[in-house]
Amino acid sequence: MPEGSPPTRTMIEPARTTVHVQRRTMIVLVLMQVVGTVGVGVAPSIGVLLAGEVTDSEAWAGLARTSSTLGAALLGLPLGSLAARAGRRTALATGWWTGAAGSALLVAAAQGDLIVALFFGLLLIGAGSAVSLQARFAATDLATPVRKGRSLALIVWVGTLGSVLGPNLGVPGRLLGPSTGLNVYAGAFLIAAVCLALAGVIVFLCLRPDPLLHLHRAMPTAAVTTQRRSGRMRLILAELRTNSRARYAVVAILTAQIVMVSIMTMTPVHIAHHGGSTEIVGITISLHIAGMYGLSPVVGQIADRAGIRPAITAGLGVFLTSLVIAAVWPEDTTWIVVSLVLLGLGWSFVNVAGSTLFSASVSDEMRASAQGGVDALSNLCGATAAFAAGPLLAVSSFPTLAVLAMLTLVPLSLLTARRGRLQPAG
């Protein structure tokens, strides 16, 4: 076609179809995310307290607290590979339903003080966390390069409602007690199980056409066939070796997760040790999650318009402020709440910007598998940080945890200072 010639009808129609599919995809993902994250949000607060009550041991409780994050890590890559093979719809629905099964196990664990059910339930509920993260990448499958950040951030943001409500399910869980005979923890996880199952139903019935399969139809057949037949992990590692933008994005995502999880996981324990109630813990974690998700559309705008580096730089500054507050005023509940809100906001800046860059940097044929892989690695690092934070808190103090988290920020800070302006579109 000669240069400067107007687009033909055969070129316009596929573009219109893609825009329509993307609009429908976003609507379904929004509904799914709001409902599903109610169930996911119960683990960081009520799950942490349940672990301490059932195990009656700080060491075992520390391991139990990491189980949901470890579950997200173990299931992230298989769910990403499932998306690459069967599409986003199948992978997301499978993850939500696995999480629902885990939440049902936690009902039994809470009601009968069952340690094995506690561990397996928290492990399986991690699948809900894994697909909640993968939903943000599903929003970018068909997004235009200049709107990837905003599309991703919107899905992160709509999870605010569910994630804020989740830690407070102890209140309706207590109300269920007289009619069901369940204790407060069992009632909370029953509600969570219903929400997780419903999220799976929504995405399975409504995410048609599947955005990733629609994208694959537009790709060369040879590229898709190669990706399906070759070892996915080998291809992911090969891409990271040659893709410096993707490597930088991975460092940003991992750093945000390690810093956020290590402090957030121990905060309920820290508050409880100082006489805080279940309600205070729930409110604190809810405000933290609001910080994580509440301004994500703004972060997406910054990543798209100003660039990746300014967004990550801002996140590093907010992280540092949060950790300084936690180190200086660890006994003051008000300041701890402020610190947790800023911790969530710092995570939002670094994670949204890093995820946007990663989604734009990896090749289309490797997208779903690579995204599942980085989420799995992120959750594995988070689980390790959460597990290590328990013994560290026991032998040291909350300010010591904050100082160690500050040191974790150093590698990303150095990389960010050395890099030029990064745009999400590649």
Distance in angstroms (rounded) separating the CA atoms of residues 50 and 67: 12
How would residue 426 be classed by pLDDT, with cut points 50, 70 and 90?
Answer: very low
How would residue 58 be classed by pLDDT, with cut points 50, 70 and 90?
Answer: low
Q: What is the pLDDT of residues 303-312, one digit of tens each?
A: 888 888 899 9
pLDDT at 425: 43
DSSP-assigned letter for residue 147? G
Q: 275 phi and psi, to 5 degrees?
A: 90, 10
Which tokens in the block code for residue 207?
A: 């995410």
For the cut 60, the answer to whether the pLDDT of residue 9 exceeds it is no
Residue with tokens 């928290």: 122
User: How far is residue 139 from each of residues 142, 236, 257, 336, measured CA to CA in Å?
Assistant: 7, 21, 21, 34
pLDDT at 11: 42
Task: Count the Cβ atoms, other than its own, within 10 Å of residue 321.
Answer: 16
Q: Where are the beta strands (DSSP E) in 152-191?
A: none
For the cut 50, the answer to whether the pLDDT of residue 59 exceeds it is yes
Distance in angstroms (rounded) separating the CA atoms of residues 304 and 311: 10
DSSP-assigned letter for residue 143? -
Which tokens in the block code for residue 307?
A: 């660039």
For the cut 50, the answer to whether the pLDDT of residue 224 exceeds it is no
Residue spans of alpha helices (H) in 243-277 = 244-273
pLDDT at 376: 79
Q: Is residue 309 a contact partner of residue 419, using CB atoms and an 8 Å limit?
A: yes
Q: Which bin fits 7, alpha (ψ -120 to 50), beta or left (φ > 0)? A: beta
Q: Is residue 327 a contact partner of residue 392, using CB atoms and an 8 Å limit?
A: no
Q: Is residue 368 a contact partner of residue 84, using CB atoms and an 8 Å limit?
A: yes
Nearest Cα neighbor of 208 from 131, 93, 81, 38 is 93
Distance in angstroms (rounded) separating the CA atoms of residues 366 and 373: 10
Task: Count the Cβ atoms, other than its own, within 10 Å of residue 228.
Answer: 14
Distance in angstroms (rounded) separating the CA atoms of residues 190 and 176: 10
Question: Who's near 38: CB < 8 A, 6+ residues apart?
Answer: 161, 162, 163, 165, 166, 169, 191, 192, 195
| Residue burial 368-397, b: 16+ Cβ < 10 Å; e: rest | bbbbbbbbbbbbbbbbbbbbbbbebbeeee
Q: What is the pLDDT of residues 336-370, one digit of tens each?
A: 888 888 999 999 999 989 988 888 887 766 767 77
Residue with tokens 């992230």: 76
Nearest Cα neighbor of 354 from 411, 420, 412 is 412
Which tokens in the block code for residue 49?
A: 């307290």
DSSP-assigned letter for residue 5? P
| Residue range 9-418 in CATH 1.10.3720.10 | no
Higher pLDDT, 296 or 4: 296
Report whether the peptide linkage leading into residue 310 is cis, meaning its omega lies within 30 degrees of zero.
Answer: no
User: How far is residue 214 from each of residues 14, 25, 84, 141, 403, measured CA to CA in Å?
Assistant: 11, 11, 12, 9, 47
Q: What is the pLDDT of residues 274-287, one digit of tens each?
A: 666 666 777 777 78
pLDDT at 380: 83
* Residues 388, 407, 308: CA angle, nearest 5 degrees: 110
Exposed / middle / buried, residue 7 (Cβ in 10 Å: 0-12, 13-18, 19+):
exposed
Which uninterrupted H or E stretch holds 419?
none
Which tokens in the block code for residue 108?
A: 């039994």
